[in-house]
Structure 1
Amino acid sequence: MGSATTATRRGTADTADCAAPKGRADAARNRERILNAARESFVIHGADASLDEIARTAGVGNATLYRHFPDRDSLVHGVMHAVTERIAERAEQALAEEDNSFEALRRFVFGAAAERIGALCPILSGRFDPMEPQCMAARTRVEELTHELIRRGQEAGEVRSDIDVGDVMVALSQLTRPLPGVGCQRIERFVERHVQLFLDGLRAPAKSQLPGHAATLEELRQDN
């Protein structure tokens, strides 16, 4: 009787152990779906996009959305952090996997543009604190990785020497931002074309002399 009871308890524990990782995996997938749906919805409809519609697009119930993100501001913060983290991951992958320094920079720039950061920031900037430690840490990571991509390209003679991280950040912000009076979905089809034009301008040897000087992050922050 004792051994049977022990076996039953062991079986129950094993089932619980299996269920817990599955539950966590399901929760992680739901969170990712919600963040992706929210990003798209914020880009198209703005910061006041319907949370009910975001839940439907993500394929989850409203209760699931609110379990992960109790209010709109927490969802906005989650979207911005997830986007910044993915951009950093794209930079790390490009540095690790590309032998050609310019191809690594190109891969990163296209990947960052795909996150639509230029469209998101103006829409959501009033709903999250960019100086919040988590945001600052993620942003610093992106900046340092971008600097490394540029440095490698310049050392290899593939990237023009008169640019800095700020130049890339400004271009990414502007090239992924819709024009006034033009919807995000309409401008989206032109983004890759204009990003490629920008990248061609980064190649060394330079075809022209740029006016002014390279845009550094420190200089950009002085205007805030």
Structure 2
Amino acid sequence: MGDEPRPLRADARRNRDRLLEVARTAFAAEGVAVPLDEIARRAGVGPGTLYRHFPTKESLLEAVVRERLRRLIEHAETLRDGEDPAALFAVLDRVVGDAAAKADLVDTLAGAGVELRTALAADVTRLHEEIGHLLVRAQAGGAVRGDITVADLMALLGGVLHALRHLGSDASGGTVLAVLYDGLRATGARAADR
């Protein structure tokens, strides 16, 4: 036997899933200051059950962020199987929308000393790979300019996320994304959109 964790019993899995759901909702609505005991109460479990699954608030926050990343990956994988060269834009829309919901979580984890890049590196790499597949298809379909690399796109997206996060309600996410998308589109695609 290696270091593989044992699979959870069905009731333990349900409790863990319920805790994650409640935490995700509570953090989104009220911020990350919601006490763990309150999350346990709302989930209908005792504090001991919560602490068995998530010994610290940081471990719960990391699990919520990881779940969001995995949903983004699944969304990108689903779109990759289609034929639409504009699917890239749908994934980018979802990334930006989801990042707005998790900004406080990322800030809290970074402030608590949890290194997200290390803890979530495999998931982030998979998301970048899926976005890369969609980028190549968008370029092949003439929807996106051919000189953009995945690294370029991720740098641009990171800049947009950073700007939206720090500008808050003063910035229009739709306008910022529209400007990014105009810059990504191939010249012919831009002319066709006008």
User: What is the TM-score with the length of structure 2 in the denominator?
Assistant: 0.71
Equivalent AA in structure 1 for residue 121 of structure 2: M
Partners in 1 of 2:146 and 2:27 — Cα distance?
37
- Residue of 177, 186, 189 corresponding to 2:165: 177
- Residue of 44, 51, 70 corresponding to 1:66: 51
Partners in 1 of 2:25 and 2:164 — Cα distance?
13
Kindly report the root-mean-square deviation, in angstroms, between the aligned alpha carbons of the 2 structures.
3.3
Matched, 1:99 2:83: yes
Bigger Cα Rg: 1
- Structure 1 residue 140: Cα displacement: 1.1
- Structure 1 residue 95: Cα displacement: 0.6
The number of aligned residues is: 177
Change (3 A) 1:155 1:176: same
3-state SS of 1:49 partner: coil
2:132 is matched with which residue? 147
Matched, 1:109 2:92: yes
Change (3 A) 1:147 1:39: same
Give % identity: 36
Partners in 2 of 1:100 and 1:142 — Cα distance?
18
Q: Is the 8 A contact 2:70 2:123 kept in 1?
A: yes
User: What is the TM-score with the length of structure 1 in the denominator?
Assistant: 0.63
1:129 is matched with which residue? 115
Q: Is the 8 A contact 2:69 2:123 kept in 1?
A: yes
Partners in 2 of 1:40 and 1:67 — Cα distance?
20
Q: Deviations over 1:102-159 (max 9, x none)?
A: 1x21332233234334443233322321243x41111111111112211211121111
Query: Which consecutive unaligned segments of at least 5 residues does structure 2 have?
Result: 1-6
1:197 is matched with which residue? 178
Query: Which consecutive unaligned segments of at least 5 residues does structure 1 have?
Result: 1-20, 209-224
Q: Deviations over 1:67-126 (max 9, x none)?
A: 211121221221222222222222111112x21121x21332233234334443233322
Q: Is the 8 A contact 1:146 1:165 kept in 2?
A: no
- Which one is further off, 27-36 or 64-73? 27-36
